[in-house]
Amino acid sequence: MKKTYPVEVDCANCASKMEEAVKGTPGVASATLNFMALKLKVEFEDGADEGAVMKEALRRCRRVESDCDIIF
């Protein structure tokens, strides 16, 4: 399953840090964050619970860049 989420983040460098954080979240098969488009594309592993995975992903993102948001 693939889903795209709007993202709020201020700098290009922070965006790439967020991308890494989302990639490392359990349940995420792959992720790309496009800073200019402010879009996070997540491919979930089979059977992953989207809501729970994204909650964890956001928690991890906030840890690397406290000032960010993913709208899901």
Partner 1 sequence: MKYKFTKKQKRLLIRIIVSACVFAAGIAVLLAVPSLPWIGRGILIASYLIAGYDVLRKAALGVVRGRIFDENFLMAVASLGAMALTEFSEAAAVMIFYQTGELFQSVAVGKSRKSVAALTEIRPDTANLVGNDGVTEVDPEDVSVGSVIAVYPGERIPLDGVIIEGRTTLDAVALTGEAIPVEAKEGDSVVSGCVNVTGAIKVRTTKEFTDSTVTRILELVEDSTSRKSRPEAFITRFAKYYTPAVCGTALALALIPPLASLIFGGDPAWREWISRALTFLVVSCPCALVLSVPMAFFGGIGCASKNGILVKGANFLELLAKAEGAVFDKTGTLTEGSFRVTNVETFGGMNGKEIIKYAAFAESVSTHPVGVCIRSECPEIPSQGDVSDVTEIPGRGVEATVLGKRVFVGKTENGDFSQNAPGVTVSVVIDGKEEGRITASDSVKESAKGAIADLKALGVKKTYMLTGDRESSARLVADAVGVGGVRAGLLPADKVGELEKIMKESSPVLYAGDGINDAPVLARSDVGVAMGALGSDAAIEAADVVIMDDDMKRLPLAVRIARKTVRIAKENIVFSLAVKAACLILGALGIAGMWVAIFADVGVMILAVLNSARALTVKNNR
CA angle 38, 40, 45 (to 5 degrees): 180
CA distance 72 to 56: 12
Note whether 43 binds partner 1 by CB under 8 A.
no
Nearer to partner 1, 37 or 52 (CB): 37
Q: How far is the CB of 48 from partner 1 (least distance, A)?
A: 19
CA–CA distance, 13 with 35 (Å, rounded to integer): 9
Residues paired with residue 32 on neighbouring β-strands, in sequence order: 41
Binder among 29, 39, 49, 52 for partner 1 (CB under 8 A): 39
32 makes contact with partner 1 (CB under 8 A): yes
Residues at the site binding partner 1, with contacts judged by CB under 8 A: 10-13, 32, 34-39, 41, 63-64, 66-67
